[in-house]
Chain A
Amino acid sequence: MALLAWILHNFWSLLVACLLALVGLRIVWRIHKYGATRDELAYILRRSPFYLLVLTFCFFAAAPFLIMFMHTFKTDGDLYRRPQPFVFRQDPTLEHLDALFNNTAYLEFIRNSVVVGIAVVIITLVLSLPAAYALARLTGRWGERAAILMFLVYLVPPTLLFIPMFRIVVLLGLKDDPMSLIVVYPSFTVPFSMWLLSGFFKAVPPELEEAALVDGYNRVEAFLRVVLPLSLPGIISTIVFTFTLTLHEFIYGLVFIADTSQRTLSVGVPTELILGDVYFWQPLLAAALIIAIPVGLAYNLFLDSLVQGFTMGAVKG
């Protein structure tokens, strides 16, 4: 606790010290490798504006998360009295994290969100893989029309659909059950995934499939053995996108489920931690930060295939 307090009190100095240490280490390493010649020093000087620019951009990208992190540990007095987002004037506290985990159903929200997310990802893949393949290979007039029709479905906003959807959910007896979200979310994830995947499938040359057909496989086997492995980056980006779509969906989650313990993160956290016009900022920010970390890691891990997914959709979609 004392260590945490010390770190948080000196957060910015420590951050700057860490960065300076890194830069220093790199300079030392270069001098060790190439020798401390005039050229080497000139090179380091020449590169410094570039690194400064990179650091500035990094700061802009990271600052919201750093501030969220700091606010999580601030006492009410420190937070509300003339806001100073960058410094601690009182000792940090863990009481808000404690409140988040013990006084709200945060862990249940996470569990519900993960269950719903995984189930929706599976349903979406099962439906959209064959559909996207059909759209990619049916290049005739009807294929194009079908693709446009599917995409029109995606364009109908949930704000229009949630009332009829609610009637259906009640009819199915799924009110106050995360199951209702598993049933309803594919209505927007499937069209989106189909559009994304068909771009990847179109990039697989048809001759490869024809070769597999001549080599002795039927169409399904050719798809599984040739098309699917070659569009793996597309499938990974579809999984990540679909999961995050379900993670931040709000209206359906709010309307279909009134029982707090059955709610998902995107609905549960704000409804529990915003009472009227009172915002419990510290636990709110902590809740958002904790769930942002794994998602951010997933995005970074698959960054290349995600970028490919977007650009491919841009060209072929």
Chain B
Amino acid sequence: MSIVQVTGLRKYFDAVRAVDGVDLAIEQGEFLVILGPSGCGKTTLMRMIAGLEKPTAGKIHIGGEDVTDLPPRKRGVSMVFQSYALYPHMNVFNNIAFPLRAQRRELKFDKRAIREKVENTARLLEIDMLLDRRPRQLSGGQRQRVAIARAMVTKPAVLLLDEPLSNLDAKLRANARDELKDFQRSSDITAVFVTHDQIEAMGLGDRIVVMSEGKIQQIGSPQHIYDDPANEFVATFLGSPSMNILSSDGFRFGFRPEHFLPKTLNDNPDNARILQYYVKRVEYLGSDRLVYGYVHGHEDKLTLAKVPSNVRVSLDIEGDYEFAVHNSDIKYFDAVNGRRIEQQNLARAL
């Protein structure tokens, strides 16, 4: 049974279709990442689940109950905001106790119970020595932990996170990602995480929802959406550098730079497609070499190859080389709507 069920959800801001018909089921205990470029409607979708935005059409169920018209406080969700939204006039203890005090009447918390819960949560997130500080005296990473502690202290059914790592510097971010994942797994909470960063999405998500222009493009595990993209948008949005897309008669095909290797490295040349590749320039990136060039017959499109540095193939001289891609690594897309076409259906489609 899914804990959050979203059906036919739409949100229009005047003429702008921010969310345009989304169906989504979020399972109990999973870490779901909503990934998309900025302006794709992912934050609006999350704000509608939280109850901060009223949907134009559609239904939201949380824990089996229809919450579409309920205010945020009656939905059993918590949220970590991008700016953390810590209350600047309260110290850390009062920030974390804030949601407990809000629900004091219904849940009958007394002062001691509140203190105990705040201290337990703070210990779990290793901020128990900061309880007397004000938010402005904290570092970015500490603020983020306080925001998570405040969201977690009431043990919500669903934890919503709106790009909580984007305000941290790069080094801290990798660490925070790891801790967040550990924390989610150990507390067995359902987390919905919105981000535009594909590395965060791939690293954190049990499942990833890829969104674009208010619509869901694909839902699946990180490996599934990387290896088996549903359309050209998903294929090019994930991966860095992104997938090479070349046009053919009536369709387009694409392959990832790391699958595009010199022919001599290919162990199974019978099952591969050989392409004449004109190498223009090579960037040495340490573990890999990034090759810029053109595939013969597709000189209008810059094509990239990512060759591991430890293979002894010389690519230093500008000129023609033979490169190969496994047939299974080539994805075919409809030239009109960008939808994926299976290779065996290709002949029929043409």
User: Majority SS of interface residues in chain A?
Assistant: helix
A215 contact set on B, CB distance < 8 A:
73, 78, 98-99, 102, 150
B103, A210: Cβ atoms under 8 Å? no
B89 contact set on A, CB distance < 8 A:
229-230
A208, B72: Cβ atoms under 8 Å? no
A208, B87: Cβ atoms under 8 Å? yes
A20 contact set on B, CB distance < 8 A:
none
B50, A216: Cβ atoms under 8 Å? no
Closest approach, in angstroms, between the C-beta of B103 and any C-beta of chain A? 5
Q: Which of B82, B88, B154 contacts A216 (CB 8 A)?
A: B154
Closest approach, in angstroms, between the C-beta of B179 and any C-beta of chain A? 22
B99 contact set on A, CB distance < 8 A:
215-216
Closest approach, in angstroms, between the C-beta of B37 and any C-beta of chain A? 22
- B113 close to chain A: CB less than 8 A: no
- B265 close to chain A: CB less than 8 A: no
Closest approach, in angstroms, between the C-beta of B50 and any C-beta of chain A? 6
Bound complex: CA A218 to CA B98 (Å):
13
Closest approach, in angstroms, between the C-beta of A10 and any C-beta of chain B? 51
A207 contact set on B, CB distance < 8 A:
81-83, 85
User: Majority SS of interface residues in chain B?
Assistant: loop
- A134 close to chain B: CB less than 8 A: no
Bound complex: CA A226 to CA B51 (Å):
19
Q: B52's closest neighbor in chain A, by CB?
A: A210
B83, A214: Cβ atoms under 8 Å? no
- A29 close to chain B: CB less than 8 A: no
Chain A 211-241: CB-based contact to B (< 8 A → 1; otherwise 0): 1111111100100011001100000000000
A213, B71: Cβ atoms under 8 Å? yes
Chain A 184-217: CB-based contact to B (< 8 A → 1; otherwise 0): 0000000000000000000001011011111111
B87, A214: Cβ atoms under 8 Å? no
Q: B88's closest neighbor in chain A, by CB?
A: A230
B102, A211: Cβ atoms under 8 Å? no
Chain B, range 145-163, C-beta contacts under 8 Å to A:
150, 154
Chain B, range 64-100, C-beta contacts under 8 Å to A:
71-73, 77-79, 81-83, 85, 87-89, 98-99
Q: Which of A205, A213, A229, A230 contacts B73 (CB 8 A)?
A: A213
A211 contact set on B, CB distance < 8 A:
79, 81, 85, 87, 150
- Check A210/B73 contact, CB under 8 A, given A215-B102, A217-B102, A230-B89: no
Chain A, range 126-176, C-beta contacts under 8 Å to B:
none
Bound complex: CA A214 to CA B88 (Å):
17
B52 contact set on A, CB distance < 8 A:
210, 213-214
Q: B50's closest neighbor in chain A, by CB?
A: A214
Q: A204's closest neighbor in chain B, by CB?
A: B88
Bound complex: CA A146 to CA B260 (Å):
63
A208, B73: Cβ atoms under 8 Å? no
B78, A214: Cβ atoms under 8 Å? yes
Closest approach, in angstroms, between the C-beta of A42 and any C-beta of chain B? 40
Chain B 101-116: CB-based contact to A (< 8 A → 1; otherwise 0): 0110000000000000
Q: Which of A212, A213, A216, A218 contacts B103 (CB 8 A)?
A: A216
Closest approach, in angstroms, between the C-beta of A233 and any C-beta of chain B? 11
Q: A219's closest neighbor in chain B, by CB?
A: B71
A218, B85: Cβ atoms under 8 Å? no
Closest approach, in angstroms, between the C-beta of B113 and any C-beta of chain A? 16
B83 contact set on A, CB distance < 8 A:
205, 207
B51 contact set on A, CB distance < 8 A:
213-214
Q: A213's closest neighbor in chain B, by CB?
A: B72
B71, A218: Cβ atoms under 8 Å? yes
Bound complex: CA A221 to CA B98 (Å):
12
A210, B71: Cβ atoms under 8 Å? no
Closest approach, in angstroms, between the C-beta of A15 and any C-beta of chain B? 43
Closest approach, in angstroms, between the C-beta of B56 and any C-beta of chain A? 16
A218 contact set on B, CB distance < 8 A:
71, 73
- Check A212/B78 contact, CB under 8 A, given A217-B73, A230-B89: no
Q: Which of A214, A221, A230 contacts B79 (CB 8 A)?
A: A214
Chain B 19-57: CB-based contact to A (< 8 A → 1; otherwise 0): 000000000000000000000000000000011100000
Q: A229's closest neighbor in chain B, by CB?
A: B89
A212 contact set on B, CB distance < 8 A:
87, 98, 102
Bound complex: CA A211 to CA B150 (Å):
10
Closest approach, in angstroms, between the C-beta of A206 and any C-beta of chain B? 9
Bound complex: CA A221 to CA B101 (Å):
12
Bound complex: CA A218 to CA B51 (Å):
12
Which of B72, B82, B83 counts the most chain A CB atoms within 10 A? Answer: B72
B73 contact set on A, CB distance < 8 A:
213-218
Bound complex: CA A218 to CA B79 (Å):
16
Closest approach, in angstroms, between the C-beta of B284 and any C-beta of chain A? 44
Closest approach, in angstroms, between the C-beta of B261 and any C-beta of chain A? 48
B102 contact set on A, CB distance < 8 A:
212, 215-217, 221
Bound complex: CA A34 to CA B99 (Å):
54
Closest approach, in angstroms, between the C-beta of A212 and any C-beta of chain B? 7
A226 contact set on B, CB distance < 8 A:
87
Could you list which residues of chain A lie within 8 angstroms of chain B, going by C-beta atoms? 205, 207-208, 210-218, 221, 225-226, 229-230
Q: List 19 A-B contacts (CB under 8 A).
A: A208-B85, A208-B87, A210-B79, A211-B79, A211-B85, A212-B98, A213-B73, A214-B50, A214-B51, A214-B52, A214-B77, A214-B78, A216-B73, A216-B102, A216-B103, A217-B73, A218-B71, A225-B98, A230-B89
